[in-house]
Amino acid sequence: MSVTDLLDLDATALAHALRTGDTSPTEVLDATLDAAGGVGADVGAFTVLTADLARTQALAAESALVAARRAGSAVEGPTPGRPDGLPLFLGVPCPIKDLTMVEGAPIRAGSAAIDPFPAPYDDGVVTLLRAAGTVMIGKTTTPELGLPCYTEPDVGPTARTPWDLKRSAGGSSGGAAAAVAARVVPVAHGSDGGGSLRIPASACGLVGLKPSRGLVSPGPYGVDGAGLATHGVLTRSVRDAAAFLDVLARPWPGDTFTARLATARGGRRLRVGLLLEPVIAADAPVHPACADAARATAALLAGLGHDVVEIPPPFGAERWDAFAALWSVGALQAPVPPDREHLLVPLTRWLRERGRGVSGLAYATALGGVQQLTREVAAAWAGVDVVLSPTLAQPPALVGSQRIDDDPAADFAAQTAFTPWTSVWNLTGRPAISLPLGEVRVTDPDGTSAIVPVGVMLGADHGDDALLLDLAARLEEAAPWSHRRPGASS
């Protein structure tokens, strides 16, 4: 198997190749580290590579696989190609976003105000990914504290979509998406507090699932806070997204929010609500390619036997102010020493200042407003099983076009106009997934052009993650995207 073929496999196929002996964990690691230092650097995917840790994990995985084959247990089982007793993704590379602790690995959270320090422990999701057998090759780039929808930190590389290096990979899981889309790794950990998995999935042509609130725990060390954010992964296939949800959907003692996966109910006729109007920024301009991708997906779903109806936004844009209050207080909660506040980027300082202006009563009112909004959304969407919309209002943005240091308020407003649908699913705690079902040719300021991906988002009722994944898999089968590759430019 050539290196190109090896790195082109999704995580499920790579795990199978490792089990059958078509390749080995150390061969995969060597190819991955080479790619990380090459195209990975070009797209700004990593803040640090952890080659020594990855080598230790790969050698342990290799020994386990060799022993299993010698014992005759590396045979077809309940999961194709899985030896009994061995982790499902043994030897498969999976980096971690640099907002999450990996014991001994440096963490900086994309901020000059935080000196990098070796993490004292593994966060819970890292524990689960280790248990699944993945190899942690490094930490992926994130913007400061994971706050904006672009990944352009002062202390690390800018994350770029490999489809057009002049354009952003999105954020805040931008480095993770760039690594997967550039074929460095088949899967990467990320997180989503307002769209931070789905935004880069759209910009990089990937699958990005935000699970239901309470399905993926922040434990045992983290807490839910306002319940906006959740961990997840970025993948190139729906089957990988589903498999890694199974890996991560484990409770820890003392969880504030808990959820269980409902039965998929696959194959039944669904009522799909097509939402084309922006929600949180009513006047946001929507690129025709983004709306067209959603309409084309609606036609595809109708062709698969589902009923599609157009639906309006479930609430007025002004009601989103509760999210802004919670987001700014969340930025203020970051443990930044007062004498290092000046090292923060202007957007973070602006958000933290807004957070200081939110009184206890205002914060409690915002929490109540979000909970009331969740009830109103449930009532507004009671007549549909799935909501379909564009993921973003625009194709991938040019690097530097969204970061407006001299006017942070304009920066924040531009972000909301770029992402007028994603945070609705964080507010309500419902699952949502971005799929790479569209594309468009864009022209850059230098006159060159490139074909870039356009994401389409599907969302469902709380706990209906399995239904969402089942529908996504049917769309992938009906309109496959695995043949698409970055680099079709002129």
- Largest interatomic CA distance in the chain: 65
**56: phi then psi, degrees, rounded to nearest 5:** -60, -45
Listed residue (33, 195, 223, 192) closest to 97, CA to CA = 192
Task: Return the amino acid letter for 47.
Answer: T
Listed residue (125, 337, 299, 83) closest to 220, CA to CA = 125
Listed residue (94, 98, 97) closest to 129, CA to CA = 94
Given the residues 24, 97, 168, 389, select the one marked as catalytic: 97
Residue spans of alpha helices (H) in 304-383: 321-332, 346-356, 360-380
Whether residue 237 lies in the annotated active site: no
Given the residues 172, 191, 202, 434, select the one marked as catalytic: 172
Q: Could you tell me if 42 and 182 are in contact, meaning their C-beta atoms sit under 8 angstroms apart? A: yes
Per DSSP, the three-state class of 97 is strand
**What Rg do the C-alpha atoms of the chain give, in angstroms?**
21
Given the residues 24, 111, 196, 389, select the one marked as catalytic: 196
> How far is residue 374's CA from residue 200's CA, in Å, rounded to a whole number?
25
DSSP state of 311: -
Residue spans of alpha helices (H) in 113-224: 124-131, 174-181, 198-204
> How far is residue 350's CA from residue 331's CA, in Å, rounded to a whole number?
10
Whether residue 172 lies in the annotated active site: yes
Residue spans of alpha helices (H) in 432-486: 465-478
Could you tell me the CA-to-CA distances from 174 to 115, 139, 314, 320, 353 in Å, in that order?
Answer: 21, 12, 29, 24, 26
> How far is residue 368's CA from residue 363's CA, in Å, rounded to a whole number?
9
**242: phi then psi, degrees, rounded to nearest 5:** -65, -40
Name the residues annotated as catalytic: 97, 172, 196
